[in-house]
Amino acid sequence: MRLLPALAFGALALPLAAHANDPHSYAQPDQVVVTHLDLDLKIDFPHKQLDGVATLKLDWKNPKAPALVLDTRALSIDSVAAVDASGNTQPLKYALAPADQELGSKLTIEAPAHPSQVRITYVTSPEASGLQWLLPAQTADKKLPFMFSQSESIHARSWVPLQDSPAIRFTYDAHVAAPKDVRVVMSALNDAKHPLDGDFKFDQPHAIPSYLLAIAAGDIAVKETGPRSAVYAEPSVVDKAASEFADTEKMIETAESLYGPYRWGRYDLLVLPPSFPFGGMENPNMTFATPTIIVGDKSLVSVISHELAHSWSGNLVTSAAWRDIWLNEGFTTYVQGRITEALYGKRQSDEEALLSARALQKSIAHMPANSQKLAPEPRGVGADDALSDVAYDKGSWFLRTLEQKFGRADFDAYLKGYFDHFAWHSITTEQMLAWLKPNLIDKYPGKMSWDEVQAWVYGTGIPKDAPLPDSPRFDTIDRRRTAFLAGTLAAVQLGAKDWNTQEWMYFLDRLPDVPTLAQVQAIDAAWHLTGTHNAEIGMRWYVHAIAAGDKDVWPAAAEHMTRIGRLYLTMPVYGAFARTPEGLSYAEQVYAKAKDGYHPMTQQAIGRLFAKAKEKQAAAK
């Protein structure tokens, strides 16, 4: 266990975190910091590229700094110039280094005169890792092309040259030219009544980190869901989405009652095509969401409460490095649970907490020791790899432990004070702990020791006394599953008619990794899971049925894999197929048909999975 370094528990010098160099960025914020981005973009659908002009306002920290160093990935740089107060430009010398596979290419701009602004003219690559371009046939309504970004973790650099580190925050404004009839939205204040005239302007007055820079464009309709919220989606989807997310204003009000005012003005939602690789992305003012959470009964809207919760934990108070990402995701998952409990009841929030905890208990022992820590040593941990179940589920479990130890009222007061104190800053785990010790641990002595805190944050595994909520319905499901597997209860007697999504997930999650063929066939005959459009249930079902050798589910599993690009819901099914040579061959055929509809991140992940599977199968021969 790594011990907590010595901390000064007095006043915190918040800006210091912004000047620590990030191992996942070439930026040198101890030399110069970008404070504002003025972005001018032209969307070129035929060539799958953005023609861009980025003007960066700079705050020079070192009077002897010779250069501005930026992050890029696969950008074609046309020109770089200094811009003076009158708008006059002067060309600057620059060098674009060879590309690193993870970090991209370092852009070094010679600027010994320390201009207040630097302007870069560039073009993105059609294979930009942070953008996905869809043909009309790949959208729901099949009328117009669609483009969207996914900048987290370090993919903003693939469509804007900038200091791509969560430690560095900047405001931005943007002008975007697009074809007429296409609506453009960004992670900024959006106008639902904006004419589709091909000329869009945006303003983000709050300083945000680069991974929250976002854009989307396509055949997008709008429907208001409250006084400060609306749903944006393709026309055929927007009504269903607005119905599913009708409680958005209630979610905002619930979070405000717990943790203080919503500081961003509007909270809008964009439902993306199914190829979006994540459940949701907390882009300020405009959450991007997967359509897989629209199931008609609001059972999966916790994804929205999660992304909304980021408006406090993540967007307002941000992790300063990807090693500290649990400060975003663990805190947010905890707040999500509180919103879910307030709106949909303790049963649903407890079931969701148990689902994540049980899954983590099953998986954490198989992780490398460093990956089991909330605050791992940064060496060898990629930026995307930091977004693991440990950050989300162990982090939220730690906060639920604090709530239990200190009581909900005192913990709520602490957490609200934490958000207020660190608002609009990016912080490290150590800065969070330096606030935690005097304001919770020492303030209420005898309730939790500092050694216990360190064990959660820097230790491996999960502490033995970690509290779990009770769920009588899950207990009943456990008994019925055990009886079914023992052969003393028929599948039709499981009593699953009234199970909600979470209860089906729990039943399937705790089946044997490889059930018998007879068992999966009996479940399917009784409950007709093959072909379900509930993607959470479908993913779990197909993984087990494929493992059991049920080839009858293969076509439906292929449809699931082709329809859904969300990594979490697609990769396990590919993985199940890839365990056998015949299954791998089938998965490769499915992928060949589905590939063009997947996000670049999904394509990369599937490519790596196939390569590992082939290596393993070759070694077994």
DSSP letter for each residue of 369-410: GGGGSSS--STT--TTTTSSHIIIIIHHHHHHHHHHHH-HHH
Tell me the one-letter amino acid at 232: Y
Count of CB atoms situated within 10 Å of the CB of 360 = 23
Report the relative pairing of strands 280-281 and 286-289 from DSSP bridges.
Answer: antiparallel
| Mean pLDDT, residues 300-323 taken together | 96
| Mean pLDDT, residues 33-55 taken together | 98
| Mean pLDDT, residues 135-150 taken together | 94
Count of CB atoms situated within 10 Å of the CB of 559 = 16
Tell me the one-letter amino acid at 492: V
Detail the DSSP E strand segments found in 256-310: 268-271, 280-281, 286-289
- Contacts of residue 167, Cβ cutoff 8 Å, sequence gap at least 6: 17, 18, 19, 20, 22, 29, 209, 320, 321, 426
DSSP code of 487? T
Count of CB atoms situated within 10 Å of the CB of 527 = 19
Q: How far from 33 is each of 173, 224, 559, 587, CA to CA, in Å? A: 17, 38, 47, 46
- Contacts of residue 434, Cβ cutoff 8 Å, sequence gap at least 6: 7, 8, 9, 12
Give the C-alpha separation, 557 to 517, whole Å.
16
Question: Going from the N-terminus, what domains does the chain have, and what CATH number goes with each?
Answer: 26-126+149-202 (2.60.40.1730), 320-458 (1.10.390.10), 472-620 (1.25.40.320)
DSSP code of 375? S
Q: Give the residue among 168, 134, 170 at the shortest CA–CA distance from 149.
A: 134
Q: The tokens of 525 are what?
A: 């005959």
pLDDT in tens, 185-201: 999 999 999 999 999 99
Q: Would you state the pLDDT for residue 383?
A: 80
Q: Would you state the pLDDT for residue 315?
A: 98
**First-residue to last-residue Cα distance in the chain:** 40
* Catalytic annotation, pick one of 152, 234, 244, 307: 307
Which residues lie across from 149 on neighbouring strands? 131
| Mean pLDDT, residues 83-93 taken together | 95
- The residue assigned the tokens 């976002």 is 214
* Catalytic annotation, pick one of 26, 392, 414, 542: 392
Q: Are 233 and 325 in contact (CB under 8 A)?
A: no
Q: Would you state the pLDDT for residue 414?
A: 98
615 is catalytic: no
pLDDT in tens, 253-281: 999 999 999 999 999 999 999 888 889 99
pLDDT in tens, 51-69: 999 999 999 999 999 999 9
Q: Would you state the pLDDT for residue 386?
A: 74
Checking if the pLDDT of 159 tops 60, the result is yes
Which residues lie across from 5 on neighbouring strands? none
Give the C-alpha separation, 19 to 502, whole Å.
43
- Contacts of residue 432, Cβ cutoff 8 Å, sequence gap at least 6: 327, 418, 422
- Max Cα–Cα distance, the chain, nearest Å: 83
| Mean pLDDT, residues 535-553 taken together | 98
Q: State the Cα torsion 133-139-143-148 to the nearest 10°.
A: -40
No. of H helices and E strands in the chain? 18, 21
337 confidence band (pLDDT: 50, 70, 90): very high
Q: State the Cα torsion 396-401-407-412 to the nearest 10°.
A: -20
19 confidence band (pLDDT: 50, 70, 90): very low
pLDDT in tens, 172-184: 999 999 999 999 9
Q: The tokens of 235 are what?
A: 């026309």
Q: What are phi and psi of 116, to 5 degrees?
A: -75, -20
- Contacts of residue 290, Cβ cutoff 8 Å, sequence gap at least 6: 271, 272, 274, 276, 278, 279, 280, 303, 566
What is the chain's mean pLDDT, rounded? 94
- The residue assigned the tokens 């927007």 is 238
Give the C-alpha separation, 422 to 453, whole Å.
20
pLDDT in tens, 103-113: 999 999 999 99
Count of CB atoms situated within 10 Å of the CB of 244 = 26
204: helix, coil or strand?
Answer: strand
Checking if the pLDDT of 6 tops 60, the result is no
20 confidence band (pLDDT: 50, 70, 90): low
Give the C-alpha separation, 500 to 317, whole Å.
34
Give the percent of the chain with pLDDT over 70: 97
Q: The tokens of 576 are what?
A: 């199940």
Q: What are phi and psi of 15, to 5 degrees?
A: -65, -15
137 confidence band (pLDDT: 50, 70, 90): confident
234 is catalytic: no
Count of CB atoms situated within 10 Å of the CB of 460 = 18
21 confidence band (pLDDT: 50, 70, 90): confident
547 confidence band (pLDDT: 50, 70, 90): very high
pTM: 0.91
Q: DSSP letters along 83-149, please?
A: E-TTS-EEE--EEEPPPBTTTBEEEEEE-TT--SEEEEEEE--TT-TTEEEE-GGGSSS-SS-EEEE
Measured over the CA atoms of residue 303, residue 217, residue 209 and residue 602, the dihedral's sign is positive
352 confidence band (pLDDT: 50, 70, 90): very high
User: How many residues appear in the chain?
Assistant: 621
Q: Would you state the pLDDT for residue 461?
A: 97
Separation of CA 23 from chain center: 20
Q: Give the residue among 19, 65, 36, 282 at the shortest CA–CA distance from 173.
A: 36
Give the C-alpha separation, 397 to 557, whole Å.
33
| Mean pLDDT, residues 383-397 taken together | 90
Q: Are 83 and 119 in contact (CB under 8 A)?
A: yes
Give the C-alpha separation, 322 to 165, whole Å.
9
Taking each helix axis from N to C end, the angle separating 501-509 and 535-548, rounded to the nearest 10 degrees, works out to 20
Measured over the CA atoms of residue 330, residue 333, residue 338 and residue 339, the dihedral's sign is positive
